[in-house]
Amino acid sequence: MPPDRIFGRIEQKLRKKENIVSPSQYYDVFKEETSVHVYGKDFLMYNFKNATTKQTKSVLGFKTTEQKVFSYVKGLHTVGITPSYTDTQVRLDILKRNSNLKLFEDNLEVLPKISHVKPAKKKDIASLLKYFCIPEDAKQFYDDVMQETTNNIVFDDENPEGAAYYDEDEC
């Protein structure tokens, strides 16, 4: 993460631009000041939670919040834990029987793209898109923003803004 002065310079440059319609216009401004990694081109996000449930035990026998030190030694299928910095480590097996860490990468799934834009904001974007010519490289971006998703999202009738609440336990 770059320092605050870099963000200040970026804000100054963005203020000078009249309209920014494409994400690539943002990327160009950011690339002048810092390195830019674009999701979907330079890196992907994986669902490690589902992959680990197939390989690791669900009940580990200790509370992770109470541990101060975790250690892992490459080649061993155990984790060392210590509830204080001075105690000796206890090594616990965290893998299920007959599980193979080499298969871990095979179980990794790319997380799906989910639009986190609120319905009111989508409505504003749709009304503004009538007045701008969208470049070809930005059409996929706007399609992703405007998509309707209901995966793992709980809508509350009492919420006036239509904000979605995400249930993190159902990944």
pTM above 0.75, yes or no: no
Of 89, 107, 125, the position where a domain reaches its end is 107
162, 41 Cβ separation under 8 angstroms:
no
134, 144 Cβ separation under 8 angstroms:
no
Q: Which domain holds residue 86?
A: 48-107
Residue 125 sits in the same domain as residue 99: no
The residues, ordered by sequence, that sit 6+ positions from 58 with a Cβ below 8 Å of its Cβ are: none
The residues, ordered by sequence, that sit 6+ positions from 118 with a Cβ below 8 Å of its Cβ are: 161, 162, 163, 164
Q: Which of 62, 60, 80 is nearest to 72 (CA)?
A: 80
pLDDT in tens, 79-115: 888 888 888 888 888 888 888 777 777 778 898 888 8
Tally of structural domains, the chain:
3
pLDDT in tens, 18-70: 888 889 998 999 999 999 999 888 999 998 888 888 788 877 778 888 888 98
